[in-house]
Amino acid sequence: MNQYFLEEKLSELRFDKDQVNTFKEFPHICNEFSKSLIEYELDFFDKYGLSELVMFYEGLLNSITADDGFLLRLGFGIGWISTTVGLILRDDPELLKDIRREFRLGRRRYQPYYVPEFPKTRKIITERGKPRFPMGWIRLREVK
């Protein structure tokens, strides 16, 4: 990570040592979240037999290293799990159920009124009619 930014610019912004240390951990935190998200998506695509997307996510998971920047998922089409604390909510199914009812997430017009699997859809880039890439993955790394 850029020492000039950490030492000079953050002190100009009056960051204390704890805030600077938290900022230094940001790439690690992003990669840990990305790993969890990738593992969740791997399970989903494996369950539905989408081997092209399983291979994409396996390659992405194997590419995560501390010295090669960090992964983020940004932009349109990245899904509810990528933009919320949805992964944490999986550990508390009742809370997730309450949130889904409150915000009408995964609601349909007929019974059962809520789809059991949530989220159940993904936006995927296709190539020649086959699913190839999920939306929004980027890698940020320092350019020297």
Q: How confident is the model at residue 25 (pLDDT cuts 50, 70, 90)?
A: confident
* Residues forming beta bridges with residue 71, ordered by sequence position: 139
Average the pLDDT over 39-45 and give the result.
95
Cα separation, 66 vs 84, whole angstroms = 24
Q: Burial code of 9-46, b = ≥16 C-beta within 10 A, e = fewer?
A: ebeeeeeeeeeeeeeeeebeebbebbeebbebbbebbe
pLDDT in tens, 47-81: 999 999 999 999 999 999 878 889 999 998 898 88
Amino acid 19 reads Q
Domain boundaries, the chain: 3-79+122-140
Q: What is the pLDDT of residue 109?
A: 85
pTM passes above 0.85: no
DSSP letter assigned to residue 114: B
Q: What is the pLDDT of residue 1?
A: 55
Q: What is the pLDDT of residue 114?
A: 82
More confident residue, 51 or 8: 51
pLDDT in tens, 129-139: 999 999 999 99
